[in-house]
Amino acid sequence: MKKKLKIGLFGFGVVGQGLYHVLNETHGVKAEIARICVKNREKKRSLPAGIFTYEAADILNDPAIDVVVELIDDAKAAFQIVKSALEKGKHVVTANKKMLAENLSEIYELQQTHNRSVLYEGSVCGSIPILRNLEEYYDNDLITSIEGIFNGSTNYILTKVFEERKSYGDALKGAQELGFAESDPSLDVKGFDPKFKLTIAIAHTFGVFVKPEEIINIGIDKISAVDLKYARENNLTIKLVARAYKLDGKIVGWVAPQFIPADHMLANVRNEYNAVLVQGAFAEKQVFIGKGAGSYPTGSAVLSDISALTFDYRYEYKKFTQGDALPFSSDVLVDVVISFTHKDSILPADFESFKGGYQGHGLQYMTGSVSLVKLKELSQRNDVSVILAPELNLSSIQKVEEKELLSA
């Protein structure tokens, strides 16, 4: 049965304020925010002073508070709050993907130890209810792959670069002004933020707790003019794709930019939208699209977790508890297009299997398949940009190599 929940909220930034308003405007969630713990005593607040505290203990030691909602930036401090809250017998709702990705295995154990629930739908792809669907709807499906656009800020940048021909710098500035970008933009553009989300998604999809540092991430910050030209001339777009799938008795995964055909379901996912594509043996291909950033979309995901707590909902981690999870690995070959400016930066010998290339006008690219670990290494060279081939299949790329792509 439903019970009225008292919430102690940590953090009152955009998502916290979004949650506050969403909770006030909706009926039917038996929950109220009783106390809000904030850090900055100087900041002007939109609510009466009485609701705020600067002491975590005022929330953690209050036996009347049932649920801690943690929405602060600092992953380490957030983890301490989550631990203390569980120890004090409170349920937790959080959207802190970095904290979750780094501590998910321990957070799982803490939930068992203290018999309390930690819910975090807002941490992965904002408003998209992907975790709940993985937990409940796909709980018995044999999922083979999960992939998608897991970062709204980079998707906004790529959209502006492609559709409005903005420079990368202008597009990034635009994303920051709209509040889509993390305070440290390298978390977005170098692919760390989507990697944290992928880490969490992998646990609920395949039942493996991977450390984020085990997953290779390649960003969009080095995408070159050649890449854009290549994409436009071949009716492709570029998306930063997070991906994990079953391969030969293991789970492989990464975050990397990828060419996407214009008629692919991910191609029309624009601006701050995110998308998740799940493939399973039974439900087959399914796509979820929604806003990945913004105070209301994330606030609504947090609210749905609070609402679920009124029904004593907990993640089952069924794919993990079934005990037949496969190990995670980065040992995989990927098909890729590598562009570079210095003639000898990349050599055919860098490829496991070299397919072809183009050279001219001081710009060049090569295509072929490369081991993922080697690709990460190549991507760190100064003048090199790496983009995965569409659908991991070079057949369509091979066709276009016959054209002169870089004609002036």
Active site positions, annotated:
197
Q: Residue 98 carries which side chain, given as an amino acid letter?
A: K
Q: Residue 311 carries which side chain, given as an amino acid letter?
A: F
Residue 72: helix, strand or coil by DSSP? coil
Nearer Cβ to its own copies (98/132): 132
Residue 252 found at the interface with its own copies (CB under 8 A)? no
Query: Site map for its own copies, 108-127, x if CB under 8 A?
Result: -------------------x
How big, in percent rounded to 5, are the helix, strand and coil portions of the chain?
40, 25, 35
Residue 97 found at the interface with its own copies (CB under 8 A)? no
Residue 136 found at the interface with its own copies (CB under 8 A)? yes
CB of residue 25 vs its own copies: minimum separation in angstroms? 7
Residue 377: helix, strand or coil by DSSP? helix
6, 14, 29, 114: residue in contact with its own copies (rule CB under 8 A): 29
CB of residue 61 vs its own copies: minimum separation in angstroms? 29
Residue 142 found at the interface with its own copies (CB under 8 A)? yes
Residue 4 found at the interface with its own copies (CB under 8 A)? no
- Distance between CA 2 and CA 296 in Å, rounded? 24
Residue 1 found at the interface with its own copies (CB under 8 A)? no
Residue 269 found at the interface with its own copies (CB under 8 A)? yes
Q: Write out the DSSP string of 325-347.
A: PPPEE---EEEEEEEESSTTSS-
55, 87, 109, 139: residue in contact with its own copies (rule CB under 8 A): 139
Residue 282 found at the interface with its own copies (CB under 8 A)? yes
Query: Site map for its own copies, 312-351, x if CB under 8 A?
Result: ------x---x-----------------------------
Residue 296 found at the interface with its own copies (CB under 8 A)? yes
CA distances (Å), origin 90, targets 23, 61, 63, 64, 82: 20, 10, 9, 10, 9
| Number of helical (H) and strand (E) elements in the chain, helices listed first | 14, 17
**CB-based contact 320:210 (threshold 8 Å):** no
17, 103, 217, 307: residue in contact with its own copies (rule CB under 8 A): 307
Residue 28: helix, strand or coil by DSSP? coil
Nearer Cβ to its own copies (30/343): 30
Residue 5 found at the interface with its own copies (CB under 8 A)? no
Closest CA to 24 of 41, 2, 44, 47: 47
Instruction: Name the token pair of 239.
Output: 């998306």
Strand partners, 35: 8
294, 332, 340, 388: residue in contact with its own copies (rule CB under 8 A): 294
- Distance between CA 123 and CA 298 in Å, rounded? 8
Nearer Cβ to its own copies (273/365): 273
150-179: which residues touch its own copies (CB under 8 A)? none
Instruction: Name the token pair of 80.
Output: 């301490």
219, 299, 368, 390: residue in contact with its own copies (rule CB under 8 A): 299
Total residues contacting its own copies by CB under 8 A comes to 49
Nearer Cβ to its own copies (134/336): 134
CB of residue 184 vs its own copies: minimum separation in angstroms? 26
CB of residue 265 vs its own copies: minimum separation in angstroms? 5
- Distance between CA 94 and CA 146 in Å, rounded? 22
Phi, psi of 186 (to 5 degrees): -65, -25
Closest CA to 62 of 90, 23, 30, 26: 90
Packing angle of the helix pair 97-114, 192-206 (nearest 10 deg) = 30
76, 211, 285, 399: residue in contact with its own copies (rule CB under 8 A): 285
Q: Residue 234 carries which side chain, given as an amino acid letter?
A: N
176-215: which residues touch its own copies (CB under 8 A)? none
Q: Which residues of 63-101 are buried (b: 16+ CB within 10 A; e: fewer)?
A: eebbbbbbbbeebebbbebbbbbbebebbbbbbbbbbbb
Residue 141 found at the interface with its own copies (CB under 8 A)? yes
Looking up tokens 């701050």 gives 272
Residue 253 found at the interface with its own copies (CB under 8 A)? no
Q: Which stretch binds its own copies (CB under 8 A): 143-151, 202-210, 288-296, 361-369?
A: 288-296
Residue 67 found at the interface with its own copies (CB under 8 A)? no
Residue 58 found at the interface with its own copies (CB under 8 A)? no
Residues that bind its own copies (CB under 8 A): 22, 25-29, 127-129, 132-133, 136-137, 139-142, 263-265, 267-270, 273, 280-291, 294, 296-297, 299-301, 303-304, 307-308, 318, 322
